[in-house]
Structure 1
Amino acid sequence: MTDAALTIPEQRVLGCLLEKELSTPDAYPLTLNALVNACNQLTNRDPVLALDEAAVLEALEGLKDRQAAWLVGGAGSRVPKYAQRLAEARNLSVQECAILAELLLRGPQTPGELRARCARMYPFPDLAEVEAVLALMLEAEAPLVARLPRQPGTKETRFGHLLGDPLPAEAPAPPQPRGRLEEEVAVLRAELAALRAEFEAFRRQFE
């Protein structure tokens, strides 16, 4: 697979192929109709998308160019079906595929969230195994995931995949000009002085 960033539809299609191979192997590879339905599921997806057949076919073409998906022609099959080939290209384990599918389908998550949500694809026995697999994915020659900075007020670290567009960083508030800050301080001081004067006038009424 090339290092080019996957588009949002490509991420969703690849995530669905990885997911369905593990969660519903009897119905895999997927027909175009099944893949469209998988991409537009209302559950286990964040965000929820509404991709039509044209968008899914375009995403499949992009994934085929990157050697991440392919058209499968089984004997006696009259309907084209599609499968992922990323696992083979990157020599990924079942555990890595489950985690990657979950990150592609629902975005950054903590190890605890990954363990719970991956259960339909691979039942991690404990959190330690999730963390061990994430460590392997972090230390790979071409890392598949990244550890994200902790959000304010949170204790757990989240992980995100590295196959798509760079994760947007929170934009810092633009600095205010020094002159404007000084004006605001002057206004606040004036208001405070006025309040003090009113309080003194009120207090004198009872002396």
Structure 2
Amino acid sequence: MPFDPSARPLTAHEARVLATLMEKARTVPDSYPLSLNALVTGCNQKSSRDPVMTLSEAEAQEALDELKRLTLAFETSGNRTTRWEHNFQRGLGVPEQSAVLLGLLMLRGPQTAGELRINAERWYRFADISSVEAFLDELQERSPEKGGPLVVQLPRAPGAREQRWAHLLCGPVDVSALPSATPAASPAPHALQARVEALEAQVAALQATVQRLCSEQGIAPGAAAMSPPGQD
């Protein structure tokens, strides 16, 4: 039975550790499998991460132990240092292309199909956006016998042209907690009225100032506005 996130969702730390192993296996194969120290460095990168995290070695090790128990990662013996590998595709029973998309969603947060295609360049080269969408649709329609859906298409964000996708490996997505997931609240009617009244007061004050200055100069307000430049 493949790993079922609906029965036992991954924690945020576990997802970050797992996705980092997946990333480094594809982008820096000469350094893979990873030592604990290298893994922590990868998890805490400032680039290509959303959100940015600051995992300690103890937190990363705890996540690795749980991933090992879930058969999503395993340790290999190095010369003197224990190294770690992911077992994502076998653990979930998904093809390479689907694994790439899920790994990117775990590392970078919700993305559109177009963004996923661009961000996947170093992992896997998709032919076009349609191929990305086909694998996303397959992941969304995954049967309960295989562990259920692994991604969800989010509601279109205000001002966005395309809908974003999110993974479900950490459980259901709280759409309200996502950046730009909901439109900015409109000002309350009484607040809007207060702003209008404040602006009207400012305009009235400026008019009074203009009137006073014109009186001191002995000119009519309208005449000052119509006088050609350089003439009194």
Which bracket does the TM-score occupy, shorter chain normalised?
0.7 to 0.9
Query: Distance in 2 between the 1:137 and 1:73 partners?
Result: 34
| Structure 1 residues 39-93: Cα deviation after superposition (integer angstroms, max 9, x where no partner) | 011111111111110010011122122221111236xx32111111121122222
SS of the residue corresponding to residue 84 of structure 2 reads: strand
| AA at the equivalent of 2:88 | L
| AA at the equivalent of 1:26 | D
1:98 shift after superposition: 1.2
Query: For the aligned residues, what is the CA RMSD?
Result: 3.3
TM (norm. structure 2) is 0.71
| Structure 1 residues 167-195: Cα deviation after superposition (integer angstroms, max 9, x where no partner) | 2232789xxxxxx98xx59x88xx7xxx9
Matches within 5 A, 1:1-207: 1-3=3-5, 4-73=8-77, 77-141=79-143, 142-170=148-176, 184=190
Contact map agreement 1:2 1:66 (CA 8 A) in 2 = no
SS of the residue corresponding to residue 154 of structure 1 reads: coil
Query: Distance in 1 between the 2:26 and 2:153 partners?
Result: 25
| Structure 1 residues 86-142: Cα deviation after superposition (integer angstroms, max 9, x where no partner) | 211222222112111110001100000000001011111211111111112112222
| AA at the equivalent of 2:174 | P
Query: Distance in 1 between the 2:50 and 2:61 partners?
Result: 21
Contact map agreement 2:139 2:151 (CA 8 A) in 1 = yes
Contact map agreement 1:29 1:82 (CA 8 A) in 2 = yes
TM (norm. structure 1) is 0.79
| AA at the equivalent of 1:98 | V
Query: Distance in 2 between the 1:136 and 1:30 partners?
Result: 31
| AA at the equivalent of 1:99 | L
Number of equivalent positions: 192
Query: Distance in 2 between the 1:158 and 1:169 partners?
Result: 11
Query: Distance in 1 between the 2:130 and 2:175 partners?
Result: 28
| AA at the equivalent of 1:35 | L
Contact map agreement 1:22 1:98 (CA 8 A) in 2 = no
Query: Distance in 1 between the 2:91 and 2:72 partners?
Result: 8
SS of the residue corresponding to residue 120 of structure 1 reads: coil
Query: Distance in 2 between the 1:110 and 1:129 partners?
Result: 13
Contact map agreement 2:154 2:175 (CA 8 A) in 1 = no
Query: Distance in 1 between the 2:95 and 2:35 partners?
Result: 24
Query: Distance in 1 between the 2:21 and 2:32 partners?
Result: 8
1:2 shift after superposition: 4.2
Percent identity of the aligned residues? 42
Q: Rg larger in 1 or in 2?
A: 2
